[in-house]
C-alpha cells in the first residue's frame, strides 16, 4: 500500500514537471504583464512541491498509509475492466453503428452480463434506453444523437 502511494506521488511530480516544461515553451511574461505560460508554470511548481511533501509523508514509517490490498478482490477488478472496455467500445463503434445499435448492445451487455438481470427485462430497458432515448432527444430536446455511417444500417433508420 505504501509503495502505491509513493508511486502516485512520483507520478504527480512527473506530471507537474511536464506542466512546467510546457508552460516555459509559452510566453512567460510580456511587456503588458504575465503571459500564457505564467499561471500554468506556477501551478505546476506548486503541485510538484506539494507532491514532494506528500511523498515524504507517505514514506515515513509511522505516518505512512495503512496496510491492505489496493484492489481487495480480483472479480471486482474484472468487473471494472469490463465496464471501461464497454465504454471505450461504445465510443469507438458509435460513428459506424450509430447511437441506437451501439447503445442497445452496450445496455444489453451491462444489464444482462454484468448486472445479471433477466433477459426480457434487460431487452426492454436496452430498447427503451437506445431507440427510445434517440427519439426523445432528437424530437423533443433538439439534441441529435449520431446515426450509423454504414450505409446498410443507415438505410434501416439506425
Partner 1 sequence: MDTLHNLLMGFAVAMTPQNLVYAFVGSLLGTLIGVLPGIGPVAGAAMLIPLTFQMTPTGAIIMLTALFYGTQYGGTITSVLLNVPGEAASAVTCLDGYEMTKQGRAGVALAMAAIGSFIGGTFATVALVFAAGPLSRWALEFGPVEFFALIVLGLSLLMGLAGKSMIKALMMGMFGMILAMVGMDPVRGLPRFTFGHMELMDGIGFVPIIMGLFGLAEILENAEKRFGPVFVSRIGSLVPSREDLRRSVGPIVRGSVIGTLLGLVPGMTGSASSFLAYIAEKKSSRQPERFGSGMIEGVVGPETANNAHANGAIIPLFTLGIPASPTVAVIMGAFLMHGLIPGPFLFKDHADVAWGIIASFYVGNVILLILNLPLIGIWVRILKVPYGMLFGIIMAFMVVGAYSVSNSIFDIVIMTLFGVIGFLLRKLEFPLAPVVLTLILGPLMERSLRQSLEMSQGDIAIFWESPIAVVLLCLTALVLFAPAFKFFRRGKGSLAGDDEGA
* Binding residue for partner 1, selected from 6, 17, 28, 50, defined by CB under 8 A: 50
Site membership for partner 1, residue 33 (CB under 8 A): yes
On whether the CB atoms of residues 111 and 130 are closer than 8 A, the answer is no
* Binding residue for partner 1, selected from 57, 59, 119, 149, defined by CB under 8 A: 57
Dihedral angle over CA of 94, 98, 104, 110, nearest 10: 0
Site membership for partner 1, residue 17 (CB under 8 A): no
Site membership for partner 1, residue 149 (CB under 8 A): no
Residue with cell 448486472: 115
119-148 residues near partner 1, rule: CB under 8 A: 121, 125, 129, 133, 137, 141-146
Site membership for partner 1, residue 96 (CB under 8 A): no
For residue 69, CA distances in Å to 1, 11, 72, 129 come to: 6, 20, 5, 37
Closest distance to partner 1 from the beta carbon of 158 (Å): 16
Strands (E), the chain: 29-30, 33-34
On whether the CB atoms of residues 12 and 48 are closer than 8 A, the answer is yes
* Binding residue for partner 1, selected from 10, 14, 24, 77, defined by CB under 8 A: 77
For residue 10, CA distances in Å to 16, 23, 44, 54 come to: 10, 20, 14, 10
R_g over Cα of the chain: 24
> For binding to partner 1 (CB under 8 A), which residues are involved?
4-5, 8, 12, 19, 22, 26-27, 29, 32-40, 43-44, 46-47, 50-51, 53-54, 57, 70-73, 76-77, 79-80, 83-84, 87-88, 90-91, 94-95, 103, 106-107, 110-111, 114-117, 121, 125, 129, 133, 137, 141-146
Amino acid at each position: 500500500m505504501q509503495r502505491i502511494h509513493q508511486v502516485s506521488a512520483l507520478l504527480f511530480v512527473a506530471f507537474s514537471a511536464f506542466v512546467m516544461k510546457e508552460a516555459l515553451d509559452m510566453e512567460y511574461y510580456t511587456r503588458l504583464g504575465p503571459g500564457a505560460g505564467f499561471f500554468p508554470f506556477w501551478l505546476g511548481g506548486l503541485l510538484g512541491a506539494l507532491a514532494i511533501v506528500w511523498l515524504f509523508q507517505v514514506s515515513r514509517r509511522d505516518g505512512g498509509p495503512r496496510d491492505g490490498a489496493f484492489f481487495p478482490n480480483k472479480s471486482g477488478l474484472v468487473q471494472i475492466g469490463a465496464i471501461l472496455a464497454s465504454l471505450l467500445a461504445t465510443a469507438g463503434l458509435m460513428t459506424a453503428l450509430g447511437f441506437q445499435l451501439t447503445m442497445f448492445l452496450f445496455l444489453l451487455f451491462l444489464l444482462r452480463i454484468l448486472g445479471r438481470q433477466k433477459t426480457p427485462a434487460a431487452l426492454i430497458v436496452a430498447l427503451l434506453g437506445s431507440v427510445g432515448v434517440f427519439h426523445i432527444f432528437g424530437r423533443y430536446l433538439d439534441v441529435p444523437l449520431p446515426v450509423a455511417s454504414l450505409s446498410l444500417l443507415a438505410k434501416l433508420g439506425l
